[in-house]
Structure 1
Amino acid sequence: MKLLAIDTATEACSAALWVEGELKEIFQLAPRDHTRLILPMVERLLAQAGLHIRQLDAIAFGRGPGAFTGVRIATSVVQGIAFGADLPVVGVSTLAALAQGAYRQRGAQRVLCALDARLHEVYWAQYQIEQGVAVLQGAESLANPNNLALPTGSDWHAAGNGWTIYHDSLRRRFQPQLLDARPVYLRDKVVA
């Protein structure tokens, strides 16, 4: 399988190429620079692999939640590439990718994802890992960090920049349930 994945929904701009089990990726924290960076990243990955876009099997992208403009950038780029090359497209939740990253990086089995949505709100979701895959528990939501419902049980891992930005609001309320609160940054290898 040959899969291209891009994400521009957060402060990071990233692209990854999965070719028959081998992963290549480019990741850069670059708020407000995604438009300039994403296509050269894609071109560089394809050149390194010696592939043309039409040789891919599919394209995946971070569909959000996330920055409105960032989500639109990824959607537009993927739509243009996929239409021109007649490729299928797969949208991946930014929060699900964060949860999957927490599992792959730390072995987290239960993950609380919080991404800064600005205006003192977070994009929020709870995930349980089942057979190596992050499965959403309930629904993704947008909420004030002070109004989030406490999850049941313990042994939760934290993922996303919301845990750093709203440290006082979130950690104080959830500390008893948290096993690990190191941030997980969304990287496209999580999607692959």
Structure 2
Amino acid sequence: MNKERLVSYTDAVIAIAATIMVLELHAPKSVSVPALFSMWPTMLAYVISFALIYLVWMSHQNIFNKANVISIQTYLINGIWLFILTLVPFATSWVGEHPNDTLPEFLYMLIEFLWGFCFQLMDNQIIRDNPGVEKDVTDTFLARTVLYGGLVLAMMMSFFIPIMSLVILGFVLIILTIVIIRN
């Protein structure tokens, strides 16, 4: 399978997803500082989603740079991973519009959980196809515990204080960024 075509296609889908997300940002209804500050949930959801997309794009580049063989299984997992990624702009917009409602927050966290899990499956498949290739820096016990534990906690929190789900995911993002930078 052609690795360069797959990476190029993936890069294009990621760029489109990020563009769609920014197009969902709308100016405040009035020209005032309070109106701007009233948009904080929308901006927080956008910043977290953009940062997650960027970090995962970087990790995607890292795992594919190490691979010499790309199997059909990797193509399929990458396709599922991209499909889930394309749901992120929708969920980000919904969370931004309804930060205090359970369903948007829960769905957003579920999408992020499935997206992360698919990435791990793809990393593991690349390692199976390319013996001797190192795992992604995020494929450690600490990083996976923070990611999945944080997302499960955020999903549970969405039933009690929905906006806290987004705050928890923000902390997860900060910790994962530190893990990536340190490696």
Query: Smaller-chain TM-score range?
Result: under 0.3
Q: Relative to total residues, which structure has the larger helix share, 1 or 2?
A: 2
TM-score, length-normalised on structure 1? 0.26
Going by fraction, where is strand more abundant, 1 or 2? 1
Q: Which has the higher contact order (CA 8 A, sep 6+)?
A: 2
